[in-house]
Chain A
Amino acid sequence: MTLAAHFAVRRPEHTTVMDLDADRGEVIGLIGPNGAGKSTTLRALAGLLAVSDGEIRLNGTVVASSTHHTPAHQRRVGLVFQEHLLFPHLSVTDNVAFGPRARGQTRTQSRAQALGWLERLGVESLATRKPGELSGGQAQRVSIARALAGDPAMLLLDEPTAALDAAGAMSLRSQLRRHLREFGGVSIVVTHTALDAMVLTDRLVVLDGGSIVQAGTPADVAAHPRTLHVAALVGLNLVRGDAHDGVIRFADGTAIAASQRLTGPAFATFSPAAVSLFSSAPVGSPRNIWAGKVTSVAPHGDAVRVQVQTATTLLADITPAALAALDLRPGSPIWASVKATEVTIYPV
């Protein structure tokens, strides 16, 4: 294993526990809400934070344990920040040459290497500029070049596309994908966007409340989310209840039928598009129906996304025509229903 990270960071306010192994060339995605422990994990891996228990091994060497701390500058771990953090007083070339220079190469060697990396990232024409003269996308490319020029064994990226507009993020994402594939070490990407997670990573690790709650391929995690955060990221409704004979019952007494047979604690997911809304209680089967209140109405692509507060929060995508017919506004009473065939259930 290139990376074996099994450690805990204990702070008065929160504790982060991490169990992660990764091989050369793997790209791991870390997702989770704010405060889930993503930044703590990155800082501990980079050597900017000491671990309380356990250890971190990088290429077989212990770089952190409760008794040992290899400082960041001796760790060969590259870090790409959300706001690029290029040194504002140095030119683009000198920023990228900073790593090789700090690791003892001559000025000429470092600059030659820097230019090589700038070329690979397609930003060699910016070599003489100062960071203040770059667009967000350009600056982030330079900062990736800077991190890679340090010849890291592991590359950490903290929301690399978050500061960019949609088009800029898309183009950086596809370029980043290529470079992470070519990079020989382990890459770890912290992200808040489903696209980054899907496009960039081989494996997703979902954090919540300071520990791992789910891990798997991006496709698997997206199809079977276990936290509301991930469900919201991939745009699914997620509810948790007790399954028995194809029916999941929830704490509030409601129930939904699903097409799969399963027994025990279970998650149920369904797309917002599968949810229908009614302004009065629909007649017929009482299953798969929730009574609630509208909490927000917002455009979503060609549809309108309505957030309904029942025992949980549900999302429903309806047509603008339906919105007009239902006369919805925040606070309106509403009934929501979903067809059994649209619900996926899986064990907790």
Chain B
Amino acid sequence: MALTITNLSKTYPNGVRALKNVSLTIGNNMFGLVGPNGAGKSSLMRTVATLQDPDSGAITLDGIDVLKQKDEVRKLLGYLPQEFGVYPKLSAVDMLNHLAVLKGVTARGERKDMVDALLQQTNLWDVRKKALSTYSGGMKQRFGIAQALLANPRLIIVDEPTAGLDPAERNRFLNLLASIGRDVTVILSTHIVDDVHELCSRMAIIANGEVLLEGVPSESLKELEGQIWSRVVATDDELRTLEAQHHVISTHLSAGQHEIRVFSPSSPGDGFEAVASNLEDVYFLHLSRHAKN
């Protein structure tokens, strides 16, 4: 499975340019999309999921024209939207059964096995007969994951799947996705950079509808090696001065004090220590460079 996105552009009627000439090649692996809110991640995913048409550009999936042969794509697709609602007064098991039929799983036994397995996997087994409308945010999100994985999809698009999950459920979901993701294409969007680090063999950073970086997370990390420096700042004034002098990419609070991280090919001196780079540095560095341009 290979998904090729070429020169995708989309401007909404209100003038927002959601996608600007986006080109990506996504192979048979997990692909992470990171970017701030409103970067265009969801627009891109909705377009690939056949829900909206771009103004220009093309998407192909193993020879299928995604923009024209929508039904062919939908047969392979498992999609979890960023936000979704549920019908009132329907239970999870009924709804999954229904959706499985719509996805073409008509053999009754297979359908039951799959629905049961997914309910177990997403930890919804005990509450499967309860109305979806009474589910909490995390439970609803897990239902969303379950419905996306019905019918062994070969193209999985999950838009912020870990939002609202507690750490244990998040880990369990990432494990599940990793175990499925070996022979399918998975596109995962998130604003938690760690998700991508743990899971994805390739990633792209998107901001303002543009791809800022596409590559392998470990390689991007390597490029920054020895160029990230950190120090603790005591006062806001000091922070302001340093911000003016250096390329500060992020600040963290550490026991009430600011710990700032600075990008610099050579030591910025003055109490800075060299630290190991992490994926968040990659992310913030690209965002800050983009903002400056």
Q: Do A and B come from one complex?
A: no
Question: A residues bordering B, Cβ < 8 Å?
Answer: none
